[in-house]
Amino acid sequence: MALVTTTEMFKKAYNGGYAVGAFNVNNMEIVQGITEAAGELKSPVILQVSKGARAYANHTYLVKLVEAAIAENPEIPIALHLDHGDSFELCKSCIDGGFTSVMIDASSKSFEDNIALTKQVVEYAHDKGVVVEAELGTLAGVEDEVVVEAGSEMFTRPEEVEEFVDKTGCDSLAIAIGTSHGAYKFKPGTDPKLRFDVLEECTKRLPGFPIVLHGSSSVPQEFVKMINDNGGNMPGAIGIPEDQLRHAAELSVCKINIDSDIRLAMTGVIRQYFVEHPDHFDPRQYLKPARQAVKDMVSHKIKNVLGSDGKA
Ligand code: G3H
Ligand code: 13P
Ligand code: ZN
């Protein structure tokens, strides 16, 4: 199967009560770990590239890695998506450069400016057969260069979603319901709760329309401990409870973004490896278990959070 857009994936996910995982890719081991897991579990998957990933690994290298993953896993649908595009030029460059989906994240702009920029990207993208994710509301945490302090996030206003989708023509919408980027999503001792009332209000106003959740890592404490036990220092790292994400996937959420959990798994395993093998210096030795950790993490998400196994 060639690279696909998310249109068919989301239709099936919406009707089937599951979500497709969107995992950030930055290098070969991450691409391999994710797609091996999705391939074995016969799951659709979205590989997403941030502006930072593109600056780190180079657009062409990432596209070619994804093409290699498609050749190795021909039986599953794979979409290649720009995560948090912050300008028309960046979106255009990815559309022209082989991506099948882009996000234009103008959520930090005014409602009117968000509409105008999103519409401009949608017109260009649709003309080339590429789909567009947009965002309304702001998440706490870091989105590329934009930093939003916890407590300053703004939940999506459901009364705005219809007008936004109508005027922009976007294909999916990321909303803010209490998720946030990074490994420190809630203060220790607080009860992490997503705003399902906001999600339900948005769904009522946009029946059948795919909703996206960013900032959906669960920050598994097993990996936080592995990091801290092996020289790391990540006190109080807390994520979104998996059962709440599973519930969101049963509703209108069709795409769930996960990056931090992959970072934690790789970092924990590599830190432990170095403590256990202080004399090793061949990158293949420590990147092999790191790649396996990515695969295990993604397999776990597909089976226990997304519910997308067997849906390819
Ligand atoms: O939402 C942000 C993603 O985790 C990508 O992070 O911009 O550091 O590549 P990045
Ligand atoms: P996490 O930091 O929770 O993994 O979120 C990733 C994300 O939303 C990428 O766009
Ligand atoms: Zn995000």
- 3-state DSSP of 131-157: EEEEEECECEEEECCEEECCCCCECCC
Residue whose Cα lies nearest atom 9 of ligand 2: it is 257
How much is the pLDDT for 15? 98
> Rounded to whole angstroms, how far apart are CA atoms 106 and 64?
28
- 96 catalytically annotated: no
Question: Quick one: which atom of ligand 1 is closest to the CA of 181?
Answer: 1
Bridge partners, residue 133, by sequence: 103, 172
Let me know if domain 7-306 sits in CATH 2.160.10.10: no
Q: For 157-186, how does the pLDDT look when each residue is reduced to its tens digit (9 = 90+)?
A: 999 999 999 999 999 999 999 999 999 999
Residue whose Cα lies nearest atom 7 of ligand 1: it is 144
Question: Any idea what DSSP says for residue 210?
Answer: P
How much is the pLDDT for 2? 80
Residue ranges covered by each domain of the chain: 7-306
How much is the pLDDT for 148? 62
Position 143 pLDDT exceeds 80: no
CA of 144 to the centre of ligand 1 (A): 6
Q: Is residue 81 lining ligand 2, measured as CB closer than 6 Å?
A: no
Question: Quick one: which atom of ligand 2 is closest to the CA of 103?
Answer: 10
Q: Which ligand is nearest to the CA of 142?
A: 1
> Rounded to whole angstroms, how far apart are CA atoms 34 and 39?
9
Average pLDDT of the chain is: 96
Confidence of residue 140 (pLDDT cuts 50, 70, 90): confident
Query: What residues have CB less than 8 Å from 22, skipping those under 6 apart?
Result: 46, 47, 48, 81, 83, 212, 255, 256, 257, 258
Two tokens at 232?
Answer: 């790391």
CA of 273 to the centre of ligand 1 (A): 25
CA of 118 to the centre of ligand 1 (A): 20
How much is the pLDDT for 226? 98
Q: Is residue 291 lining ligand 2, measured as CB closer than 6 Å?
A: no
Confidence of residue 221 (pLDDT cuts 50, 70, 90): very high
How much is the pLDDT for 146? 56
Residue recorded with tokens 């946030």: 180
For residue 96, the tally of other CB atoms under 10 A from its CB is 11
Q: For 93-130, how does the pLDDT look when each residue is reduced to its tens digit (9 = 90+)?
A: 999 999 999 999 999 999 999 999 999 999 999 999 99
Residue whose Cα lies nearest atom 10 of ligand 1: it is 52
Query: What residues have CB less than 8 Å from 127, skipping those under 6 apart?
Result: none
